[in-house]
Structure 1
Amino acid sequence: MLATRKRNSVARLTRNSKIFKTIIQAIQEKKGEEIVSLDLRKIPEAVADFFIVCEAGSSTQVKAIADHIEESTKSNCGELPYAHEGRQTLQWVLIDYVNVVIHVMLPESRRFYKLEDMWSDAPQEKHTDQHTR
């Protein structure tokens, strides 16, 4: 299973990639907050090119953001997630598109797990609510 999960090093993503922009826009459309992308491309042990982390104010909003990401990515990019986790408790939903992994979290979960601190050697970019097409 790990072999099928391995990143495709030829088709590396950038912040200008269609799937990256689609995910950020989907989060913004559902009012996700504190959106940060971590560029993991220069970190050898990283499992993806990018992590995108955002917060939602309630478990209902976590679900709405996660659903909208999957719907937008399917309709705009023709991509389905490789996997997703956390839909049972809706405290932290992870959506894995192999080269980009999205973490939709409640504020308490984000403070507890501190993903940005764990990957502090990765360049970070905050994404404000600007709808760029």
Structure 2
Amino acid sequence: MDSQQLADLAAEACDDRKATDIRLIRVDEVSSLADWMVIAGGQSDVQVRAIARAVEDRLETDAERLPLRKEGVQEGRWALLDYGEVIVHVLMPDERGYYDLEAFWSHGEARAFLPSLHIN
């Protein structure tokens, strides 16, 4: 699984827990830190933790990957999951506005996450 597929999988997991305004930013050409940033919003500390857990579970199950490190999950205001080539940020609205990661990484190629529609 390449880094874009891993980022897409993380974004899908965020969407499964109703994360808001999910953004994927390709940063491999502007930083050696990672290939992709996934940024998602949670409306409460409970939701931020649930989104982070959903990402961990999905990437462990579908990609056999565990985060290299994680920060802030217990506090639930800003969770960071670092998978090496993909870094996932889940933030409450105040933190997202204050840190404005989208502006910080604006020199990367950004796109909104568009969930695939499943028609039965």
Q: Given the two structures, how large is their TM-score scaled by the length of structure 2?
A: 0.91
What is the Cα-based RMSD across aligned positions, in Å?
1.6
Superposed displacement of residue 131, structure 1: 5.0
- Provide the rounded CA distance (Å) in 2 between the counterparts of 1:126 and 1:21: 11
Deviations 1:30-57 (A, max 9, x none): 00010001100111x3400000000011
Residue 25 of structure 1 deviates from its aligned partner by: 1.1
On the 8 A contact 2:28/2:35 being kept in 1, the answer is: yes
Report what 1:68 is aligned to.
54
Could you tell me whether the CA contact under 8 Å between 1:25 and 1:131 is conserved in 2? Answer: no
Gaps of 5+ in 1: 1-10
In 1, the alpha carbon distance for the partners of 2:56 and 2:2 equals 20
Which residue among 29, 36, 39 is the counterpart of 2:26? 39
After superposition, where does 1:1-133 map in structure 2 within 5 Å?
Answer: 13-14=3-4, 17=5, 19-43=6-30, 45-131=31-117
Task: State the AA in 1 paired with 2:96.
Answer: R
Letter of the aligned partner of 2:97 in structure 1?
R
- Report the number of matched residues: 118
Contact 1:66 1:104 in 2 (8 A): yes
Unaligned runs of 5+ residues in structure 2 are none
Percent pairwise identity: 26
CA contact (8 A) 2:28 2:34 kept: yes
Counterparts of 2:57 and 2:3 in 1: how far apart (Å)?
Answer: 20
Q: TM-score, normalised by structure 1?
A: 0.83
Query: Which deviations, in whole Å up to 9, do the C-alpha atoms of 1:60-90 show, x marking residues without a partner?
Result: 0000000010011101111011000002321
CA shift for structure 1 position 130: 3.0
Provide the C-alpha distance between the structure 2 equivalents of 1:131 and 1:55, rounded to a whole number of angstroms: 21
CA-CA distance at 1:12 after TM superposition? 6.1
For the pair shown, the structure with the greater C-alpha radius of gyration is 1
